[in-house]
Amino acid sequence: MANKKALSKLKGREAIVVGIILVMVVVFSLLSPTFRTYTTFVSLLDSSYYVALMAIGVTFPLITGGVDLSIGTGLISYALFGGYLIVHQEMPVAVGLIACVIMGTIFGVLNGFLVAVMELPPFLATLCTCMINRGIGSLLSGGFGISWPSALSSDGWFRSIFRINSNGKILPVGIILILVLVLVMNFVLKHTKVGRYTIAIGSNKEATRLAGVNVKFYHIFAYTICGFFAGLAAIAYSGTYVTIYPGSGAGFEMDAIGGAIVGGVSASGGVGSIIGTFLGVIVICLMKVGLPFIGLQANWQQIITGLILIGAVLIDVVKKRKV
């Protein structure tokens, strides 16, 4: 009953995405007995944390009508930086965690500055910082992978933010953190000035400026939120995977952006919700984890992801044409 009520509160688009998720779960479960196991469930969640965090962040630039392509290689670069401090400089783990977030935030501000003040096209500006990040990551690590402390070592406490090993049973507690952040950022987007002006900029930037809003500030802020969450995603990635490899990370941003678009964020700006983004991320991650169970390997996943995105964007375009 309570569930039904919660469902009816979701808006049209979000309800559709929930429906898609249910259909996918049912289909995968029917076709593959190994899919419907606890282990799969946990690995699904593990692989969704960093995507979800990136997606929450990138929703803000997307709603302003822009994009942030730097979060994928950024994530790896920040995680390498944190790992470098912990492993090679023997600093406390907490310092490494904070370093991830600070570096992410700095790159967020930089992206925001390039877009809002220097007026570079977001696609171009963040493509450049994407490449810069990849270079920084390789430089820091000297080209070798860096492993953050393992769960068994005394410094591995940070991994229990995301999963707790209780008598051989793994509890995916990271999802609680993600859900809390989803609710918090949903509130920020819907009920605070930052969120309101993010939508306003995506809706009509000039009109927002003429209303006396400091558009540049809020535009930068949107990218800063994105960078901050890329930093959090770096922590989630380091907390769920063993080794961070320099040079990886390209393409991660597409999962996050794809999730946001599937969840109803308009590629032309002005429209979107964090809850929708989160649901969209679940769709993307379900596919990545689920398709191999029914015998479709990576290449098929990409093709199907592409098709789903076209579908999601088409809904957007068709709706607009009607108006």
Residue 187 CB, shortest distance to another protein, in Å, is: 8
Residue 79 CB, shortest distance to another protein, in Å, is: 31
Closest to another protein by CB, 210 vs 242, is: 210
Closest to another protein by CB, 147 vs 203, is: 203
- Alpha helix (H) ranges present in the chain? 2-9, 12-31, 38-63, 71-83, 93-112, 122-141, 174-191, 193-210, 215-240, 252-262, 274-290, 298-322
Closest to another protein by CB, 116 vs 146, is: 116
The dihedral region occupied by 163, where left means phi > 0, alpha psi between -120 and 50, and beta the remainder, is: beta
Both tokens of 190, joined, read: 């819907």
Residue 137 CB, shortest distance to another protein, in Å, is: 35
Taking the alpha carbons of 90, 95, 97, 102 in that order, is the dihedral positive or negative? negative
Contact region for another protein (CB under 8 A) — 44-52, 153-161, 210-218, 277-285? 210-218
Question: Going residue by residue from 170 to 209, which x/- string records binding to another protein, judged by CB under 8 A?
Answer: -----------------x---xxx--x--xx-xxx-xxx-
Residue 208 CB, shortest distance to another protein, in Å, is: 7
CA distance 253 to 227: 12
Residue 199 CB, shortest distance to another protein, in Å, is: 6
Q: Does 323 bind another protein (CB under 8 A)?
A: yes
Residue 269 CB, shortest distance to another protein, in Å, is: 9
Residue 11 has φ and ψ, to the nearest 5°, of: -80, 170
CB 78 within 8 A of CB 139: no
Only one residue has tokens 């969640």, namely: 45
Q: Does 263 bind another protein (CB under 8 A)?
A: no
Residue 295 CB, shortest distance to another protein, in Å, is: 42
- Cα 20 to Cα 16, 23, 58, 282, 298, distances in angstroms: 6, 5, 22, 10, 21
Closest to another protein by CB, 271 vs 284, is: 271
Question: Going residue by residue from 1 to 40, which x/- string records binding to another protein, judged by CB under 8 A?
Answer: ----------------------------------------
- Cα 129 to Cα 160, 253, 260, distances in angstroms: 31, 13, 21
Closest to another protein by CB, 9 vs 191, is: 191
Closest to another protein by CB, 179 vs 211, is: 211
Q: Does 270 bind another protein (CB under 8 A)?
A: yes
DSSP three-state, residue 166: strand
Residue 195 CB, shortest distance to another protein, in Å, is: 8
Closest to another protein by CB, 209 vs 288, is: 209
Closest to another protein by CB, 27 vs 211, is: 211
Burial of 229 (0-12, 13-18, 19+ CB in 10 A): buried
Both tokens of 1, joined, read: 């009953």
- Of 67, 271, 289, 312, which lies in the binding site for another protein, with binding defined by CB under 8 A? 271
> 275 CB contacts (<8 Å, ≥6 apart)?
10, 14, 182, 186, 263
CB 25 within 8 A of CB 280: no
CB 240 within 8 A of CB 120: no
- How many chain residues bind another protein (CB under 8 A)? 20
User: Which parts of this chain interact with another protein (CB under 8 A)?
Assistant: 187, 191-193, 196, 199-200, 202-204, 206-208, 210-213, 270-271, 323
